[in-house]
């Protein structure tokens, strides 16, 4: 979920040293059983297009033993495409759900009092006045969005007001500091003081089933950076799985081992925001089955001016490819099928759809698709790039023309165990049945 802009106004954290990891449960839940998979993808695609077209630090211990923290995360919504993590804020802790997003940095939740410009959320609003550990983050703190404006000697009581704009919406409030609690049971709970977050009292109504967002990007304000995690991993359960739980880990316990693990280096992000927060990858080509498509490797090159490139984003649903690459993928899929074409623009919002003989028909066999990254191939089974529902079978990808930045979305990441090693600057991955992890 790429962030686009931040308006800042000056107005008058991490795990304890014995911590080793933050553990987050991931689940996939349909809140509305009447919504079809294609309707779900249509609405998620609409949100993705808007994203692209608009666009005190404490440390985890280096030891492998110690604290494991769990925050259940679920795949939710009738009309979105995000994975939600559950955590708690304040003293006493109040549980809330937030979008887990590798494409942004700010951690935020709605705060009371919250008037007409707040969205409806599940559960109770967090109220700072009811927490014994709430504080306003000084505007010259290293994790304050206003630090550069405040200077070394800000005025007394200086606080940072923000308006964070994403491609899909916006939120505004005051930067604050709180104790966060991770874990679903007393045995695995851990309280982490000093987390900088956004206390929002005005937001657009675009946050489907959540109470806010947890940024997992490369910037100083993300949860990864504030925890000094060094690495994090997650495994996203399939969209068709309505109730399974999988796991997000931050810290040494996130390490991914095994003979099937492949690794590719991150491409250095541009220094300019918001591109500086993204995890860029070097995609050198794409194959369908054994056929490598005639896509020049330079197609996905990140330009010196910050244009182009490919990012991996847990907050975007459908993979978008720069048009020259998308047209090759589209043509390859089209050449493999003899099914009649179907107009999926209304039902799914996707460009290439086929008509199955019956609504209950099993789609024909299709080869896997391979994304060739520098030093590592990511193999996508057919269920990771095609979606079937109500007699229509569609390519779950789209073309990207505005800004020409390609994005590997979470639909294509399902049932792949991914490790972001922010110290070694690598992404590692292996196929997995995420519901069993």
For 8-33, the pLDDT digits (tens) are 777 754 444 444 466 766 555 444 44
> In terms of DSSP H, where are the helices of 77-205?
147-150
CA–CA separation, 124 and 143 (whole Å):
27
Q: List, for residues 62-96, the tens digit of each pLDDT value.
A: 323 333 333 344 554 344 567 888 889 999 999 98
pLDDT of residue 40: 53
Helix/strand number for the chain, H first, E second: 5, 30
CA-nearest of 106, 103, 109 to 87 is: 109
Omega within 30 of 0 (cis) for the link into 92: yes
What gap in Å lies between CA 382 and CA 394, rounded to an integer? 11
Instruction: Please state, as a whole number, how many other Cβ atoms lie within 10 Å of the Cβ of residue 340.
Output: 9
Per-residue pLDDT at 66 = 32
- Return the C-alpha torsion angle 134, 138, 143, 148, nearest 10: 160
- Cα distances from 372 to residues 262, 280, 283, 386, 428, in angstroms, run 11, 14, 6, 19, 13
- pLDDT category of residue 244 using cuts at 50, 70 and 90: confident
- Measured CA to CA, the distance from residue 13 to residue 281 in angstroms comes to 29
CA 197 vs CA 37, 89, 160, 316: distances in Å: 34, 10, 11, 22
Is the predicted pLDDT of residue 253 greater than 90, yes or no? no
Q: Is 329 exposed, middle or buried (0-12, 13-18, 19+ CB in 10 A)?
A: buried
Cβ-contact 120, 209 below 8 angstroms: no
**Under DSSP, is residue 411 helix (H, G, I), strand (E, B) or coil?**
helix
At 322-346, the pLDDT tens digits run: 999 999 999 999 999 999 999 877 7
As a whole number, mean pLDDT of residues 387-415 equals 89
Assess whether the previous peptide bond of 274 is cis (omega < 30° from 0). Answer: yes
pLDDT band at 403 (very low <50, low <70, confident <90, very high): low
Average pLDDT over residues 22-46: 55
d(CA 37, CA 392): 10
Mean pLDDT of 277-306: 94
- Considering Cα of 95, then 97, then 98, then 99, what sign does the dihedral take? positive
CB 350 within 8 Å of CB 47: no
The partner residues of 425 in beta bridges, in order of sequence, read none
Please write the tens of the pLDDT for every residue from 358-384. 888 889 999 999 999 999 999 999 999
Mean pLDDT, rounded, of the chain: 83
Stronger pLDDT, 225 or 151, i.e. the higher one: 225
Strand partners, 101: 215
Domain annotation for the chain: domains and CATH numbers: 3-254 (2.40.70.10), 262-436 (2.40.70.10)
* Residue 237: closest CA among 433, 72, 41: 433
- Supply the residues annotated as catalytic: 101, 313
Q: What is the mean pLDDT of residues 107-127?
A: 91
Helix (H) or strand (E) run with residue 148 in it: helix 147-150
**pLDDT (average), residues 241-266:** 85
Tokens of residue 235, six digits: 């495994």
Per-residue pLDDT, averaged over 243-256, amounts to: 81
Q: Which helix (H) or strand (E) holds 66?
A: none
Beta strands in 316-425 (DSSP E): 319-322, 341-342, 353-355, 369-373, 376-380, 386-389, 392-395, 397-400, 406-408, 416-421
Spatial separation of the C-alpha atoms in residues 418 and 423, rounded to whole Å: 15
pLDDT number for residue 61: 34
* pLDDT attached to residue 62: 31
């Amino acid at each position: 979920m790429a962030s686009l802009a931040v308006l800042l106004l000056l107005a008058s954290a991490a795990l304890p040293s014995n911590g080793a990891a933050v553990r987050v449960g991931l689940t996939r839940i349909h809140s509305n059983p009447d919504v079809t998979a294609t309707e779900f993808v249509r609405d998620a695609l609409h949100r993705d297009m808007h994203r692209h077209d608009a666009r005190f630090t404490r440390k985890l211990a280096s030891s492998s033993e110690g604290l494991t923290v769990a925050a259940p995360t679920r795949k939710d919504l009738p009309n979105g495409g995000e994975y939600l993590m559950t955590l708690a804020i304040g003293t006493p802790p109040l549980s809330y759900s937030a979008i887990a997003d590798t494409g942004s940095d700010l951690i935020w939740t709605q705060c009371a009092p919250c008037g007409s410009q707040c969205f409806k959320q599940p559960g109770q609003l967090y109220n700072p006045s009811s927490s014994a550990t709430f504080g306003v983050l000084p505007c010259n703190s290293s994790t304050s969005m206003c630090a550069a404006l405040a200077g070394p000697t800000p005025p007394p009581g200086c606080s940072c007001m923000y308006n964070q704009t994403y491609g899909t919406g916006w939120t505004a409030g005051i930067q604050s500091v709180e104790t966060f609690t991770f874990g679903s049971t007393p045995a695995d709970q851990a309280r982490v003081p000093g987390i900088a977050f956004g206390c929002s009292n005005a937001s657009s109504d675009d946050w489907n089933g959540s109470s806010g967002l947890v940024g997992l990007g490369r910037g100083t304000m993300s949860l990864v950076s504030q925890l000094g995690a060094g690495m994090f991993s997650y495994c996203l359960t399939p969209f068709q799985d309505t109730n399974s739980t999988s796991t997000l880990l931050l810290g040494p316990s996130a390490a991914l081992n095994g003979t099937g693990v492949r690794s590719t280096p991150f491409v250095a992000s541009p220094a300019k925001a918001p591109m500086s927060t993204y995890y860029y990858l070097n995609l050198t080509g794409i194959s369908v089955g054994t056929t490598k498509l005639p896509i020049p490797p330079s197609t996905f090159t990140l330009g010196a001016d910050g244009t182009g490139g490919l990012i991996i984003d847990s907050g975007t649903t459908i993979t978008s490819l720069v048009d020259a690459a998308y047209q090759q993928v589209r043509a390859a899929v089209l050449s493999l099928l003899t099914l009649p074409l179907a107009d999926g623009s209304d039902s799914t919002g996707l460009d290439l759809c086929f008509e199955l003989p019956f609504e209950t028909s099993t789609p024909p066999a299709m080869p896997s698709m391979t994304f060739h990254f520098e030093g590592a191939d990511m193999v996508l089974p057919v269920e990771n790039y095609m979606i079937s529902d109500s007699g229509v079978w569609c390519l779950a990808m789209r073309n990207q023309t505005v800004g020409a930045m390609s994005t590997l979305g979470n639909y294509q990441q399902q049932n792949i165990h991914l490790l972001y090693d922010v110290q070694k600057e690598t992404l590692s991955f292996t196929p997995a049945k995420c519901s069993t992890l």
